[in-house]
Structures are given as C-alpha cells and as structure tokens.
Amino acid sequence: MVSFRDQWQEQRRQRQFEVGQRQQDVREVLDTLQQNRQAMAAQLRSDLSAFQQALQHDTQQFLANAYQQRLANAQVMATTLQAYREDIQQQVAQFLSLTQDQRSHMAQELWQTLNDFRETLSLVVADLRLALQQRMQEIQLEVQVLQADTQHLLTVYKEKRLADQQQLVQELAAYVDHLRDDVQAYLTQLELVRADRANQVWSMLEQSHADRISDVEALMEDFAVFRSELREYRSDLHNMVWGTGDSSTAPALAPRPARPIATRPVATRPVAPDAKPKAISPVEAPPSPKPAPMPAPTPVKSVVEQPAPVAEPAQPDVDTEEKETAILVVPSNVIALPEVQPEAVVAATPTPRDAAQLETDIFNYIQQLKGARLSEIESALSINRFQAVDALRSLIKKGNVTQRDRIYLIPEEISL
C-alpha cells in the first residue's frame, strides 16, 4: 500500500512537471507574440514613412496653388480698393463743399438771433434791476417796522419777567416757610414715634431677659437631674464592671478646673422720651458697657470614663462627688448668654511631664499594644489632646512611629 507521503511527493513532482510545461508554453507564446509585434512594428514604420512622403508632396502642391490663388486675389483686391478710394475722395469733396455753404448760412442766422436776444435781454435786465431796487426799499421799510415792534415786545416782556420774578420769589419764600414748618412737625412726630418704639423695644428686651433667666434656671435644674442620673449610671456601671468592693485602689485622675461660662453684656440704658435723635432712625443702639467680672471657677471632675486598653491591669477611677461647673451671674443690666463648652466638663487636667519622658511612655504603650489610637493613648496616659498630638508628631518625624488608618504603629527593629 502506497503511503500518503509517497502520494504527496508523486503529486508534487507531477505539479512541478506541469508548472515547467506551462512555463515552457508561456515562453513559446511570448516569443511568438514578440516576433509578431516586431513584424507589425516594421510594417507600421514603412506605412508611416510612405504616408509622410505622400503628405509632404500634397502639402507642397497645396502651398503652391494657394500662393498663386493669393496673388490673383491680391491684384483684384488692389484694383477694387483703388476704385473705392477715388469714389470716397469725390464724395468727401462734395460733402465738404456742401457743409461749408450750410455752415456759413447757419452762422449768419445764429448771429442775427443772438443779436436780437441780446437786445431783448438788456431790456429785461433793466426792468429787473428797477424792480429789485423797489423791492429792496420795501424790505428796508418792513425791517424798520419789525425792529420797532421787536423793541416794544422786548420792553413789554422785560417788565412782565420782572413782575413774574417778584411774584415767584414771594411764592418761594412762602413755600419755604410752609415746608420748614412741615419738616419741623414731621421731625417732632418722628421723635415721639422713636421714643415710643424705644420704650417698646426696651420692654421687649426686659421680657426677653426675664424669659432667658427662667429658661437658664430650668436648664440648670434639668442639668442637675441629668448629673444625678449620670452619677447613678456611673455608680451602677462601676459596680457592674469592678464589683461592689472598695474603689480606692484604682488610680484617680487629677482634677481639672472647668472653664467659666462666658457671658455677653447688653446695655440697659433707658431712652429719654424728650431726647433729640442724632439721626432719623427708629432705634438707636446703646453703647456696650464693660463686662462684669466673673467669679472664680470651681474645679470639676470628669464624668465620662474612657475604656482602658487590654494590656492595662488597672482601670482609672474618678471621684463620685460632683461640683458646680460655674456660677452664672446675671446682673440687672446684663443679659447672660452662656456658651457651650463640653470639654470643660469631661476633660481632666493633664499631669505635667517632660517631653522626652512623654514620648518614651507613648512609644512603650504603642509597642506593648502593637498599635493604638489617639483616644486610647490619651485615656491610658492621662494626657490631653495637645500633648498627645505633639509627642506623636515628634515620634513620626524621628521615624519611631508610623500612622496607618488612624492607628499609630511601631516600625520593625526600632526601640528607644
């Protein structure tokens, strides 16, 4: 049995043979076409040469015949032009003689017509000059009459204007006096209205002052209730977390003085009804007096307990006694506006420490917990936000601490 490879080789040889045979046939066809093209080109060149010779002979014969014909036509044309020239000269001579006679006759007639028109125009101009002189005399008389009438009218108008001016001055003086009286009455009325409005505003301010005082007292009562509830909640939470044992073993945070509640003074100067206003205004703002001195603040303990980290064995404790955060003084002429200061209630007084020692403590705390947040560092070391941020910034600059997702970490192979 013949393999596919042998069949493919046999077919390949057959294809190669066919290709060679076709190439041979194509070469033969190309040679035949080349010979035919050369024979046709030689025949075409011979035909073109014979056509060129015949065309040259025909062209020379046509040029000779055309030259002879042009010479004959030129002689006939010259004869015709000579005859036409003589005829034109005769006609022009006749036309010039006739035109000269007509021009002489027309010149005589035109001179006679112009002479008659000149005489007529002289008579008409003399009549027009006479009429113009008469008209100028009439216009001068009319101008003199108009000047006299205008002078009379100007005198009459001047007298009338003086009389109207005197009357207008008198009317303006009366109007100014009347307007001054009206303005004075209006200013008096405005002064009374301003005094009434000032009294009304003062009454409203006093009522608002009394309402604020009552609201502040109610808020203080609610705050006292809230503090008592918060104290009970803290006690329950302490008992639930640490038990009912003695809480004196837990370290207590140092107290921090609370910030005083700021007040903004408002003047209560009465407005006199008979006082003259400095400007036309419904209410004049009274000057602000100096704020009254505040009493010394009483320190307060923190009432919010931060959760301790897992590594710390002890939980910081705070005293159960609560004191007043500040004394609200409301004088009779001052409206108290308390400002909310939450950090004055919950923050504790930081313990003075050395910066290097504080950095070491923070580094050790972060290294012990393998990472800590800012709030955990503050509560664990009993420091405030400023001390913690400054120390952490210094450690980050030194490369001892890194921050990732609000968690401070210690890089590997670093120790203080």
Reported as a pLDDT band with limits 50, 70 and 90, residue 36 is very high
Instruction: Let me know: does 338 contact 328? Beta carbons within 8 Å.
Output: yes
Q: What is the DSSP letter of 352?
A: P
Residue 292 pLDDT greater than 50, yes or no: no
Residue 186 pLDDT greater than 90, yes or no: yes
Give dist(CA 22, CA 28) in Å, integer: 10
Residue 231 pLDDT greater than 60, yes or no: yes
Say which amino acid occupies 397: K
Give dist(CA 43, CA 56) in Å, integer: 20
Alpha-helical (H) ranges within 243-305 are none
pLDDT at 204: 92
Residue 347 pLDDT greater than 50, yes or no: no
Q: From the CA atom positions of the chain, what is the Rg in Å?
A: 67
Whole-prediction pTM value?
0.23
Domains and CATH numbers, the chain: 350-416 (1.10.10.10)
End-to-end CA, the chain: 91
Say which amino acid occupies 122: S
SS3 280: coil
The closest alpha carbon to 196, from 266, 271, 268, 269, belongs to: 271
Cα 36 → chain centroid: 86
Instruction: Extract the tokens encoding 118.
Output: 């000149």
pLDDT digits (tens, 9 = 90+) for 83-107: 999 999 989 988 998 888 888 889 9
pLDDT digits (tens, 9 = 90+) for 132-176: 999 999 999 999 999 999 999 999 999 999 999 999 999 999 999
**Quick one: CA torsion of 296, 302, 304, 308, rounded to 10 degrees?**
150
Give dist(CA 286, CA 275) in Å, integer: 13
Give dist(CA 123, CA 4) in Å, integer: 142
In which element (H, E) is residue 121 found?
helix 4-242
SS3 256: strand
The CA distances from residue 367 to 223, 356, 364, 379, 412, in Å, are 41, 16, 5, 16, 10
Instruction: Extract the tokens encoding 226.
Output: 């809230």
Give dist(CA 258, CA 269) in Å, integer: 33
Residue 112 pLDDT greater than 70, yes or no: yes
Residue 328 pLDDT greater than 70, yes or no: no
Q: List, in sequence order, every residue forming a beta bridge with 408; answer none if it has no partner.
A: 372, 403
Residue 224 pLDDT greater than 70, yes or no: yes
pLDDT at 255: 42
